[in-house]
Structure 1
Amino acid sequence: MTSRRNDTSSPASARPDAATGQHDGSLARSLGHGQMAMIAMGSALGTGLFLGSGEAIGIAGPAVIISFALGSLIAASVALAMGEMASRHPVRGGFGTLAARYLSPFWGYLSRWLYWIVTVCVTGAELVACAAYLAYWVPAIPLWAGIILFAAVILAINLSSVGSFGAVEFVLSSIKVIAVFVFIVIGAVLVIFGLPSAPASGFVELTADGGFAPMGWAPVWIALSVVMFSFGGIELLSITAAEAKDPARSIRTAARTTIVRLAFFYVFCIGIVLCLVPWRQAAGTGEEVATSPFVMVFDRIGIPGAADITNVLVLIAALSAANANLYAGSRMIHSLAADGLAPRFAAVTTARRVPVVGIALSSIGLVGAALLAFSGVGGVFGYMMSLVVFAVIMVWALILITYIRFRRSGITGATFRMPGGILAAGAGLVGLLAVFATVTVRPSMQIAALVGVPAVLIATVLYVAVARRRIDPSDIEDAFEEAESMR
């Protein structure tokens, strides 16, 4: 087959426009392995831990620790599978392009559009959280005003060059990683040793109110529908591969370190919160969360200024996650446009190789979150979380199925392999099916399904009626050839 990389009609050709200074679309390879790891952390270590954990605690009580442990194992299978495939094929569009090659163009199309929906919803949900954290200090500021304020910040960051974006996201993610580590250390001291003004709490609170599993063990399973939102974002390991300086090394390092950090942070942080704060108090008021359980810890202990400092850090965490997801959404729709599965103008980049049209289209979540908040609709954050979980489950399942086909194809050259290989991927799929099954018992998941299932059907109809005829197999092969040349 003849490569089309030099065809100036192709969006992937990076041809500059003399009149506008724009490029027709290749992305710049400017991200180092440290930045890639922190971008993935920036997306995954955000509201799900700092704000959404309150809802999960309310469902399962202290036993939610097990939910987070199980969730980390499922996420690990996905992250490592993606890491192995992306280290071999650092293609634009990440796992979606891989699915198009190893499954079929339809599954590549569907997984990418689903993930774009995920990033749009997560960006909006994280900004809702940012506004909620701001209200901790200034209750008079309307939620919608806070959303608009922070939306302007992340738009400015994303419109800079990818190198600048990576540097800013590295700093933001580093702040919250250090903060979480410090929280774990201080929390462990308070739990085991105590302070002169606050005796050691020990592990009494884990069983003080109805036992470790006060509602039984079924809620441990139901809580997974909330917990999995916390790990959403690890997909960026695959998306950022197309803009990595050294894809093979960067992906290998990022995949291994990201999932270990996430598992450690989530399980230990939640455990410490539940040791220091009664679980019913940490649960807050369900989906109408006014403050983070982490802020409650320091409020309860009475350390001067500590709660305000913690609120700054969790606000940074949510802002970082929103920033990373806007980046992911813009790159995903750029790849769709480059392959003819979205309007071609969405592949246009600026002189700095920033997909400005993709950023604009991916800002729908910012507008939607602000409108919902302005309308006064209750439970905005909880419903957006549920819709994200529904779509993430489908995307992750396609990633694992793609991985199984990838391994069975006998392709060699990956810089590392997932322990357990196909068996580990199969176990991950079983876990995802268990999470999906919560749709039968959890109202917010049922509402998410009522939105998500029609969205999948509409996407399928559009594929059959329009997109299928626009697919050029050489576009996908060009992406793989370009990635091969950069390994």
Structure 2
Amino acid sequence: MTMIVLGSALGTGLFLGSGSAIALTGPAIIISYAIGSLLAAIIGGSAGEMAVRYPVRGGFGSIATRYLGPYAGFLTRWAYWTATCAITGIELIAVGSYLSFWWPDLPLWVGIVVFGVLIIALNIRSVKYFGAMEFFLSSIKVFALLLFIVVGLCLVFFGLPGHAASGVSNLTNDGGFMPGGFTSVWLSLAIVMFSFGGVEMISISAAEAEDPARSVRTSAKAMMWRLATFYVLSMFIVVSLIPWQQAAGLEGTVATSPFVMVFAQVGVPAIASITNFVVLIAALSAANANLYAGSRLMHSLASDRMAPSSLAQTSSAGIPVRAMLVSLSGVVLAVLLAIFLPKAAFGVMMTLVMVCALTVWVLILLAYIAFKKVEGNSAPFRLWGGRVTAGVAILVLFAIWVALFKLDGNGVPATVGVVYFVLLTIIYFAVVKNVLTVDEDAFAEAQRATEHYESDRK
């Protein structure tokens, strides 16, 4: 479960999208990712605490239905499904972009199609097979990222044979540590938070865990510390080793990862090529994890009569194949953008993801506040600070929402995202409202299972 969460979170947002964030903030990107890590920990902790108490199908979406009402649950689940579909597409755009490191003339859409077929093959097998493959893919990039951090810290502070230590002078050169002021840090959070998409997936996978209470509690704690360490240290190394204006050179494009640039700048082309392979695996792993989540979310929506009932059918292996095929819509959009708007494809899809993700995160935290008011401290895993911490996080997320609209080039895709939610609202009140109910039996069964496992553990 920890690797599935890391598989989604450690992807394109960190390895490729960080270049645009560096362009806004300079070395202060370290602060941006520290704030983002804290927010991600609060969101993941909130979703984890609710999932430990109620490991129900549909995860935090079902919980939002119970504690905020059917409309909030409907919006949460559809927004999250949309986000996972778009993330699947954007990760495959990154895969196609990384291929250009070796084959500059290869069309972007070719890589998207080829690797799109690959993740379909991975997801169409059993859950056990998917989990093993995702663990393998995530392990590669987690190990490689740890190696990057170790080698990077050596290059910064000690040097390596043939390469003197760079020191930290790049943190204050070219305009100082925060050349754009704190406003730039605020604006960059609209990009940085894309890197943390997937921290809430722990709630989705809880329903298929053998022991949800133990699994979620362990995974949530591991996820919080690992993400914070990986992100902050990685950004420190990038902006320490190369001048931030060079690391920001890919603003507006999807050509090269700052992580690849680090090794290219220090004159180790073989390692740069290996790093490019690793970030490609990272993007593929994230696409794989999000297609898994999207298919389960659509299956849950259909089972709960929020989507066509035919999408609730599963194969003999228990895989919701029809739901998975519908969840490939983000890949289709990615292919179309790669053909007609290749330079804008990454930015457009990232903005669409953020509109959905910010909405989902706010609703998760609102559901958590309502959950705590009713359930108190009944869950075996608890978020530090409870409702107060969640309330502060909501205010920060609203500030990021404003920043999303203020970024150059984001107006049209962000507006499209808002229109999408208006359409969802119309559909809810016209079609879904009268048939949607809370499945109290599912919550009662989940609670009994949790209490059983907790009793056995003690």
Counterpart position of 2:214: 249
Counterpart position of 2:238: 273
Structure 1 pair 134–377 and aligned structure 2 pair: CA distance change class (3 A)? closer
| C-alpha separation in 2, matches of 1:262 and 1:333 | 27
Match among 354, 358, 379 for residue 389 of structure 1: 354
Matches within 5 A, 1:279-290: 279-290=244-255
| C-alpha separation in 1, matches of 2:356 and 2:230 | 24
Counterpart position of 1:141: 106
Question: Which blocks of at least 5 consecutive residues in structure 2 are unaligned?
Answer: 451-458
- Please list the CA deviations of residues 325-361 of structure 1 after superposition, one character each: whole Å capped at 9, or x if unmatched: 0111111111111111100011111111111111000
| C-alpha separation in 2, matches of 1:377 and 1:466 | 37
Counterpart position of 1:307: 272
Q: Does structure 2 conserve the Cα–Cα contact (< 8 Å) formed by 1:386 and 1:444?
A: no
What percentage of aligned pairs have identical amino acids? 52
Q: Does structure 1 conserve the Cα–Cα contact (< 8 Å) formed by 2:115 and 2:284?
A: yes
SS of the residue corresponding to residue 289 of structure 1 reads coil
Counterpart position of 1:100: 65
Counterpart position of 1:49: 14
- Please list the CA deviations of residues 27-56 of structure 1 after superposition, one character each: whole Å capped at 9, or x if unmatched: xxxxxxxxx110000000000000000000
SS of the residue corresponding to residue 250 of structure 2 reads coil
Q: Does structure 1 conserve the Cα–Cα contact (< 8 Å) formed by 2:250 and 2:256?
A: no
Structure 1 pair 412–216 and aligned structure 2 pair: CA distance change class (3 A)? closer
Matched, 1:337 2:302: yes
Counterpart position of 2:150: 185
Q: Does structure 2 conserve the Cα–Cα contact (< 8 Å) formed by 1:340 and 1:472?
A: no
| C-alpha separation in 1, matches of 2:269 and 2:36 | 35
| C-alpha separation in 2, matches of 1:359 and 1:246 | 26
Aligned-residue offset at 1:304: 4.6
Instruction: Judging by fraction of residues, say which structure has more helix.
Output: 2
Match among 434, 444, 449 for residue 481 of structure 1: 444
SS of the residue corresponding to residue 268 of structure 2 reads coil
Counterpart position of 2:257: 292
Aligned-residue offset at 1:95: 0.6
Greater Cα offset, 434-443 or 250-259: 434-443
Matches within 5 A, 1:120-269: 120-269=85-234
Q: Does structure 2 conserve the Cα–Cα contact (< 8 Å) formed by 1:49 and 1:230?
A: yes
Greater Cα offset, 54-63 or 371-380: 371-380
| C-alpha separation in 2, matches of 1:89 and 1:391 | 24
| C-alpha separation in 1, matches of 2:307 and 2:373 | 31
Matched, 1:86 2:51: yes
Counterpart position of 2:454: none
Q: Does structure 2 conserve the Cα–Cα contact (< 8 Å) formed by 1:122 and 1:322?
A: yes
Query: In structure 2, what residue type is equivalent to 1:138?
Result: W
| C-alpha separation in 1, matches of 2:385 and 2:195 | 24
Counterpart position of 1:32: none
Matches within 5 A, 1:291-440: 291-410=256-375, 413-440=378-405
Question: Structure 1 length as normaliser, TM-score?
Answer: 0.91
Q: Does structure 2 conserve the Cα–Cα contact (< 8 Å) formed by 1:400 and 1:429?
A: yes
Matched, 1:109 2:80: no
Aligned-residue offset at 1:233: 0.6
Aligned-residue offset at 1:107: 0.4
Aligned-residue offset at 1:432: 0.4
Aligned-residue offset at 1:478: 3.3
Q: Does structure 2 conserve the Cα–Cα contact (< 8 Å) formed by 1:387 and 1:445?
A: no
| C-alpha separation in 2, matches of 1:456 and 1:237 | 25
| C-alpha separation in 1, matches of 2:256 and 2:343 | 16
| C-alpha separation in 2, matches of 1:424 and 1:448 | 31
RMSD: 1.2
SS of the residue corresponding to residue 343 of structure 2 reads coil
| C-alpha separation in 2, matches of 1:309 and 1:155 | 25
Q: Does structure 1 conserve the Cα–Cα contact (< 8 Å) formed by 2:149 and 2:233?
A: yes
Counterpart position of 2:23: 58
Equivalenced residues, count? 450
Aligned-residue offset at 1:412: 5.3
Aligned-residue offset at 1:104: 0.1
Q: Does structure 1 conserve the Cα–Cα contact (< 8 Å) formed by 2:254 and 2:343?
A: no
Q: Does structure 1 conserve the Cα–Cα contact (< 8 Å) formed by 2:108 and 2:342?
A: no
SS of the residue corresponding to residue 41 of structure 2 reads helix
Structure 1 pair 146–377 and aligned structure 2 pair: CA distance change class (3 A)? closer
Q: Does structure 1 conserve the Cα–Cα contact (< 8 Å) formed by 2:352 and 2:414?
A: yes
| C-alpha separation in 1, matches of 2:169 and 2:401 | 33
SS of the residue corresponding to residue 101 of structure 2 reads helix
| C-alpha separation in 2, matches of 1:377 and 1:279 | 25
Query: In structure 1, what residue type is equivalent to 2:136?
Result: V
| C-alpha separation in 1, matches of 2:336 and 2:65 | 35
Aligned-residue offset at 1:378: 2.7
Q: Does structure 1 conserve the Cα–Cα contact (< 8 Å) formed by 2:15 and 2:257?
A: yes
Aligned-residue offset at 1:484: 2.9
SS of the residue corresponding to residue 433 of structure 2 reads helix
Matches within 5 A, 1:446-457: 446-457=411-422
| C-alpha separation in 1, matches of 2:130 and 2:404 | 37
Aligned-residue offset at 1:410: 2.8
| C-alpha separation in 1, matches of 2:104 and 2:129 | 33
Counterpart position of 1:11: none
Q: Does structure 2 conserve the Cα–Cα contact (< 8 Å) formed by 1:390 and 1:445?
A: no
Q: Does structure 2 conserve the Cα–Cα contact (< 8 Å) formed by 1:54 and 1:289?
A: no
Greater Cα offset, 299-308 or 184-193: 299-308
SS of the residue corresponding to residue 249 of structure 2 reads coil
- Please list the CA deviations of residues 185-244 of structure 1 after superposition, one character each: whole Å capped at 9, or x if unmatched: 100000000123111000001111111111222101000000000001111101101111
